[in-house]
Every structure is written in structure tokens, then in C-alpha cells.
Structure 1
């Protein structure tokens, strides 16, 4: 079975090469000065000209493209984990959806991309779109976010905003919309500065970040992910900073013992029981273990779209929401 799988991937890759070759040939006369060279998760990439047929493999990459006004350069997208931000919904509706989750190598081939982009390494698995190296070897640059490299050793020690904004700059440069990138980065850095300035007045409340529940066990943010970084930037401490994970399982009893001042609740729109922020808040208020928590009793519950808690162009919105809630919390305590 393993041999058959490898052969199938190889055959699909060869077919993709057949589709990609004319694009590469068409660009053979392109002025070399228009080429963009960069490194993505340790892989050198050369983009000979601004792409015209980009495919994004999941929501984070899709929304970076939409935020830069590049929907007209997209011939495919896939894998929504949450609702697209309202300001980009109309643009998103004009982009073909290749698959409900990750596209297969065959689905990707049919789109004839000249650039492939994902914020998730899992998109480039053999059972998904295929490896980045295969795509690059076929002349299709494949960009992957620094926050989720195939090699964990290449991921920055801190999952933070610098890597997100560097990525926005990279994508803007690749597509020849540098000024749009600079404007977007400047806007987000301005918000970062405002949040940082407000952080000194929060009195560092403890925050638990509740993402979901797996078989009844709550999943919370540990000390290795973006949520932890957000809390520190906004002037809070992570109630589970000792958890060695970006997100990890704990227990309701453990949450009760730590009794956080504020609970940030992820709002997932995938439709499973307990996913929505309303469901989580209802459970917190009715469960015998959690209804006496300080954050529940005092209504210091902050709902944030789950997508914003993953590194993306929307993470700045979650940071601003949490900062506003922490400022309000501090004012109540004065």
C-alpha cells in the first residue's frame, strides 16, 4: 500500500509539472529584475514575476491575500475554519473554493497555480496538496508561514506579531504590492503600540484562554503560543503559562484551582456541540465546578473568533479585543 501511495503522488506531481511548464516557459523572457527571491521556512524561493494564479490552502493565508486586495490574483482557496471576516467576505465569494478542507494534489493541479501559500505545514502533507519541495521542483513557489514550519527547529521561539507582519511584507513583495503591505503593517503596528501603552495600567490580571473541549477536557493556551504572547503584550499573565504547549488539555478542576481573573473564550463556527462562545459560556455558568470562578461570577468572559487566536492577519483584532477587556477589568478594580 505504501508503494502505491508514493507512486500516486509522483504521478500527480508529474501531471502538475505538465500544467506548470507552460507558465514557466511563458516567463522565460521576463526581466530578471522583476524576480523576487526569499526564504520560507528554510526553503529558498524565486518568484520570477508577480503571480497571477495563486492558490491559498487554508483560511489564514486566504485572509492575508484578501487584506492585501489580491483576490483578483487567486484561482483557488480552501479550508475555512471560521467565518471570513465581514470586510473581506464579498471578495472571498469571488474566489473558487477547491475543497472543503485541504485540496488534493490533483485538485491543486487542476487550478494550474503559479504560487501556493499556506500558514499550516499540514497543508503540504502527501495526502493533502503534496510537499513544498515537489511544487518548487515543478517551478511553483510554495510559501509557508514561519510560525508553522515543517521543521519545528525553524519555528521562532516566540509565536508573535513580528513574524506575522514579516509575512505580510513577504507576500506584498511577491505580488508587487509593496505599498499595500507597508500600509497594512503600519496600521497593525500602530495598534500594537496602543495596546502596549495601555498594558501598564492593567495590573496584570491572570487570564485563561479556553479554546475547546475534547471528550469533556478543556483545551487551554499554554506558554508556547500566540495567545500567551497576546496576554503579555496586553498586560496579563497566562494562568497556564507552565503548560508546555501552544494549546493543551487540562481539567475543569485545575481551572477552578487557578481561578483566573478573566477567561477568553474562543468562538468556533464549525458547528460542533460546545464550539460556540455562547455554548462555552453557558457551560461555565451552569457547571458546578466552574460557576463559582471569579471570572464567571464577575462576568469577565471575553469572546474572540477562534481564527483570530491562530497567527494571522486577524490576530491583531483579538489582541485589541482582549486589551479593551483588560483595561475595563482594571478600571473596575480601581
Structure 2
């Protein structure tokens, strides 16, 4: 699973007229124009990249890293602006995506981690990824570096809470909505983004309205690990999936994205439900087999009652499929309430 890993503002060409700030999320729209090689005018807009104001020109050869990035673009109907995607092997097959036809229309650029050489060779004019989940100081591909190469970049708001120099904090689902609105502004389809966000909010509201009453169910998310457990803190989508469905993330007090905890902490949390994140070479079934045979967890209620819920990888990382994961998990919790045995 890819994890979150400073940047200085690189001056961009300025235009004769200043644009008024419209909102924190989208600061200005169509503030000027640049001329493309074919003689057409390219729209520009200023949008926050994490907490930094950045001027964007409408991309025509976007490159997306991982399913969450590509899904956001495809959900906005932007396949014609996407050159290709990079998909590490831990991701489920793109053929299983609701946007499988869009994936088939664009180029598969590789199954390795995001790197500078790949996006340069692809002649990308925008790279969409997360901070330290795609962009990385260690691998030499950061927004600042790409700025210097004349390649635009966009970072998932969910990954911005500890971005050096320009941090920005949103709850995970609000980060998803913010990303869709910002991408809509960058690509010149703000109305499309507004409608999409409204539909997602309505779906979430319906789930919240139907959540089980009473004390929230305690939930532990198991990503992987044997010596320690790799789990979800407060800064990733499972936090909101759990809470909106009527549960409580037992490690939701950790101000982290994906993090490691000791098994003693898991036992002390006494979770009633375990979410298993399904990805990579180890199947969800194998992970459940490990958990049920691990002596330290023998008395944990979720293990005793075999209350396991499998969450798809792309439902757990920032992307439109978060809403699908929420709805499925909410159905699961309601079924438990109706038939606790």
C-alpha cells in the first residue's frame, strides 16, 4: 500500500489583470489566457494546491497515480484530458472499476511507483497524486521539482495535513469534495463538479440518517502486518466511512494517515468489528485467517463473533469509491444490529 511521504512557490507567468478571490477552495477562474501550439487560447485558473496558491492552465495530458486519482478525473468526465495512469500492482484490476471503459481509453504507463522520468517521458502537463503517496522527496518527484520542469501537479487534500510549508486540513470526505471542486475548476468544468459533489453529499446524508442508534460500534481497521498492525488513523477515508456508518474507529484519536500500532493496543481497544482492507498479494481471506488464528486476539469480540467486513482498496483511499464503501459498511452494521447473533 502506498503511504503519504517542502516546497517553495515557483513563480509562474503573470497576466495584466488580477483576479478577485472567490473562495478558499477555488481562488479565481479564467483569470487570463495562454496560447497553445495550435493557436487556441488555454484557460487559466488559480487554485489551492494544499495551502499554496497555484496558477493552472487547462491540462490536456494528465497523468494519474493510483486508482483514487484516476477515478476522480473519470468521475468528472475528463477522460479526454487524461493521457495515462500509473497503477502499482497492489491496486485491484482496473477492469473492476466503475470507470473501466475510461481506463481502457487511456494509456497504462506502468505498475511501479511514481517517478520523474516516467512523467517527463509521458509529456505530462499535470500529475495527480498524494503527498508521500505518489510524490516523494526520496524518489525525487515533488510538486516543487515538477514546477521547475514546467509540469503542473495536483495533490489530494486528504494528504495535505502535514505538507511542509503549505499544510491544509480537511476531514477525509470533505477532502474528497474539495478535490473534485478544485479539479473541476482546473479543467473548466466547475458545474459538473458541483453536481457530482452534491450527489455524493446526498448519498452520505442518507447513510447518516439511517445509522444505528445508541453507542457507536467499535471498529478496528486491519491493513496488514504481523509483528505490528498497520491501521487507519484519523486522516484517511476509513475514518469517515466508520463514523458516518455508525461506528467508531478505535484508533481515530491518532493524528495520522496510515500507521502502525502494537497488538496490545488492539486488544485493549476491544473492537466489535474488524474491517479488512483488501489489496496486494495477501488476500482478505488470508488476512482473516491470520486474525482468527492469532492467539493475542482470541478474546477480542470481533474475532469471537467473526465480525469481519472486507473493504476494497479503492474504497479505502481518497476517491469517489469511498461513498460506495460507506454504503456497503453501513448496510453491514445495520445487518449486525438486526441480527447480532
Pairwise same-fold verdict (TM > 0.5): yes
Q: Deviations over 1:215-269 (max 9, x none)?
A: 532222234443233322222222233445333323444433432111111111x
Q: CA deviation at 1:52?
A: 1.6
Q: CA RMSD in A?
A: 2.8
What is the match of residue 281 of structure 1? 288
Counterparts of 1:59 and 1:120 in 2: how far apart (Å)?
15
| Gap runs ≥5 in structure 1 | 1-23
Secondary structure (helix, strand or coil) at the match of 2:98 reads helix
Q: CA deviation at 1:320?
A: 1.5
Q: Deviations over 1:253-288 (max 9, x none)?
A: 4433432111111111x21xxx32111111222333
What is the match of residue 121 of structure 2? 110
Q: Does 1:246 align with 2:246?
A: no
Contact 2:212 2:334 in 1 (8 A): no
**Residues 60-139 of structure 1: pairs in structure 2 closer than 5 A:** 60-80=68-88, 81-83=90-92, 84=94, 85-125=96-136, 128=139, 130-139=141-150
Q: Deviations over 1:15-47 (max 9, x none)?
A: xxxxxxxxx762696557x32221212333223
TM-score, normalised on structure 1? 0.80
Alignment partner of 1:26 out of 23, 36, 60: 36
What is the match of residue 319 of structure 1? 326
What is the match of residue 21 of structure 1? none
Q: Does 1:201 align with 2:213?
A: yes
Q: CA deviation at 1:301?
A: 0.9
Secondary structure (helix, strand or coil) at the match of 2:320 reads coil
Q: Deviations over 1:108-133 (max 9, x none)?
A: 12221222221334533356463323
Q: Does 1:185 align with 2:197?
A: yes
Contact 2:239 2:249 in 1 (8 A): yes
Q: Does 1:45 align with 2:57?
A: no
Counterparts of 2:54 and 2:193 in 1: how far apart (Å)?
19
Secondary structure (helix, strand or coil) at the match of 2:124 reads coil
Q: CA deviation at 1:193?
A: 0.3
Contact 2:272 2:301 in 1 (8 A): yes
Counterparts of 1:28 and 1:137 in 2: how far apart (Å)?
24
By percentage of residues, which structure has more helix? 1
By percentage of residues, which structure has more strand? 2
| Gap runs ≥5 in structure 2 | 1-33
Number of positions where the alignment pairs a residue of Structure 1 with one of Structure 2: 304
Measured at CA, do residues 300 and 167 of structure 1 come closer, stay the same or move farther in structure 2, by a change above 3 Å? same
Q: CA deviation at 1:194?
A: 0.9
Counterparts of 2:75 and 2:158 in 1: how far apart (Å)?
19
Contact 1:195 1:234 in 2 (8 A): yes
Contact 2:231 2:258 in 1 (8 A): yes
Counterparts of 1:291 and 1:240 in 2: how far apart (Å)?
20
Secondary structure (helix, strand or coil) at the match of 1:63 reads helix
Secondary structure (helix, strand or coil) at the match of 1:212 reads coil
Contact 2:232 2:259 in 1 (8 A): yes
